Amino acid sequence: MTPDDEGRIRASFEAQSMMQTLGARLTGLGQGTAQIEAPILPGSRQQQGYAHAGLTFAIGDSAAGYAALTVMPPDCEVLTAEMKINLLTPAAGPVLVARGRVIKPGRRLVVVQAEVHARPDDGAERQVALLTGTMIPVETG
C-alpha cells in the first residue's frame, strides 16, 4: 500500500457519516487488513443496554470492506454484496474493536472476514461476533 492508497482509504472512511455517528475510528490499515474501534455510545444500544447488533455489524462490515479496498485497484470504491454475522455473546463495553481481513482477493469478488471483540476497561478482549462476506469493487473513475 502506498501513502496515496492509504490516504484515499482514510478519506473514504471519513466520508461515511455513519462512522462518525457511531464514534468509530479507523485505527489500523495494512495490506488486506483493517481495524475499526468504536465506543458503545449511549445512543448505540439495544433494549438491555448491550451494544446494538447494528453497531457490531456496522463496524465489522466496514472493517471487512476497507480490508478489501486495500487489495482493489486505485480507481475503485467498495460495496458489500452480502455479509453474515454470527453474534457470539452480548457485547458489553466500553469499546468494540473490529478487525477485517481478506480471505480471497479477486477481480470481481473479494471474500472477507471480520472479528469483533469487546474490550473491557480491564481484562482480556472477548470475541462478540464473527462476520463473513463478499465485497465488490465499483469504479469511481
Smaller CB separation from its own copies, 111 or 119: 111
CA–CA separation, 131 and 61 (whole Å) = 7
**In residues, how long is the chain?**
141
Residue 76 within binding range of its own copies, rule CB under 8 A: no
Residue 98 main-chain phi, psi, to 5 deg = -110, 130
Which amino acid does the sequence have at 111? V
* Nearest approach, Cβ of residue 37 and its own copies (Å): 15
* Nearest approach, Cβ of residue 121 and its own copies (Å): 21
Residue 125 within binding range of its own copies, rule CB under 8 A: no
Burial of 98 (0-12, 13-18, 19+ CB in 10 A): buried
Is the bond into 39 cis (omega within 30 degrees of 0)?
Answer: no
DSSP state of 75: T
Residue 55 within binding range of its own copies, rule CB under 8 A: yes
- Which of 76, 88, 92, 95: binder of its own copies (CB under 8 A)? 88
Residue 104 within binding range of its own copies, rule CB under 8 A: yes
- Interface residues with its own copies (CB under 8 A) are 12-13, 15-18, 20-22, 42-48, 52-55, 57-58, 61-62, 77, 79-90, 103-104, 108-109, 111, 113, 127, 130, 132-134, 136
